[in-house]
Amino acid sequence: MLVTLQTTLLLLVVGVLVARTSTTASTTAATSYAAFQHFNVKEAIASTKIQPPKINAHEEISDYTDHFSDGTDHQKWKLKLVHRDKITSTHFSDHRRRFEAHMKRDAKRVASLLHRLTSSGGGGGAAATSTADGVGHELEDFGSDVVSGMDQGSGEYFVRIGVGSPPKSQYMVIDSGSDIVWVQCQPCNQCYRQTDPVFDPASSASFTGVSCGSSACDRLENAGCHSGRCGYEVSYGDGSYTKGTMAFETLTFGHTAIRNVAIGCGHRNRGMFVGAAGLLGIGGGSMSLVGQLDGQTGSAFSYCLVSRGTESSGSLEFGSGALPVGAAWVPLVRNPRARSFYYIGLLGVGIGGMRVPISEDVFELTQLGDGGVVMDTGTAVTRFPTAAYEAFRDAFVAETASLPRANGVSIFDTCYDLNEFVTVRVPTVSFYFSSGPILTLPAGNFLIPVDEMGTFCFAFAPSPSGLSILGNIQQEGIQISYDGANGFVGFGPNVC
């Protein structure tokens, strides 16, 4: 989707993270970074007309792996993170149709998150489990490259891993708001279309069923018992679901084999996972891959979502070696009602170097588990509660009064006709986090093209509830790191 951010632009404006000397709520202005930046309109429009290259669906895991040493004892494996539209056949002929389809999917994603929070207490359908005593996990850090298909209008990022023994290469959706790993399995009573052949447990020497009396089954929500095997069911608020049996299986990242990972083997599946074989949950609960590897990786991982309109790929790494030196760290906030989600402390937002007068209470997570701010890889557009969004938007509109306006498009109510411009001067957009850091976004992360004719929109929207969500459009191009053991999320210092 949207804007091509060349490396030079990123280096110029990713602007980055500035540690404030004071964390008091009375701080209303940021003077240590620029109030305005220049945005290359023609470059952004050109990116909407480029169809992303198709990826060979039969490439093996090794084709998506880079092995390197960082000069220490840490050995890392990086596989490509790709967006689903680079591996599926769903391509729209024009950017406007891609954009509209993307926004429909994004609205369903937000509805799904809200449904999970209000109806199930935030468990995502699967609350917590553990692997078989952690046996078989290798200690070296490992990872996978992430490729974005945002230019095609979808909000999911894929990673290619191996499932079973011998490993069968499969694309998996990564989801920071999910606590389960699952794949479509034979015999498949109801399956959606995926790029690779559906995984057949009978062909894997390492596939082991989970008994109904196991601790893994006990810790599942919506668990059942089918012929002595532990059954699972995960339903999403958009109508998507997966149903099947639990198993312990080997997952392979490059040349790193991780044995005895608890996964769902889905025999009845439906939803917006088209192209992927399943879902790789990297949420905060112990059922996710991050939770299952806690003893080996310290619940540490890092990702970088590639900027839209480029042919490069992002990355996903696990292990303490993935945590960069020089990041700006913000405390994670735990919500007992929603252990899957990564909440962060947001104090406010800024436009043009000035803090917008919004009460910090708007972004606060209450003792009852309501409100708060969630970091989510699956949501594209950042949402704020309506009152906060309107104040934020109005401040942006006031600073862009000289730009010609256009009618609202889809979920966006603040749009501009920039077709006659080569570049425009726009105010900076910043997030003020608890403990001090300020994240200033590149212009392409908040002003996005919605067609090929030069219509750009302010890429934020009101939330239908008190929950705020920091979406992947605003995260793109910036390294995001999670130090689960110590309870922090880091921004930067690297870009991608």
Q: 419 forms bridges with which residues in the sheet? A: none
Q: Is 179 a catalytic residue?
A: no
Residue from 175, 179, 294, 451 carrying the catalytic annotation: 175
- Amino acid, single-letter form, for residue 114: L
Residue appearing with tokens 């220490």: 72
Question: What would the DSSP string read from start to end of 259-290?
Answer: EEEEEEEEEEEESS-TBSSEEEE-SSSTTSHH
Closest by Cα among 127, 406, 142 to 253:
142
**For residue 346, what is the enclosing H or E element?**
strand 346-351
Peptide bond into 166 cis (omega under 30): yes
Q: Is 175 a catalytic residue?
A: yes
Sign of CA dihedral 387, 356, 412, 335: negative
Closest by Cα among 360, 347, 353, 411 to 382:
411
**For residue 234, what is the enclosing H or E element?**
strand 229-235
State the Cα–Cα distance between residues 204 and 164, nearest whole angstrom.
Answer: 5
Closest by Cα among 496, 494, 492 to 329:
492
> Across 382-422, where does the E strand assignment appear?
382-385, 405-406, 415-417
Residue from 141, 179, 376, 451 carrying the catalytic annotation: 376
Residues with a known catalytic role: 175, 376
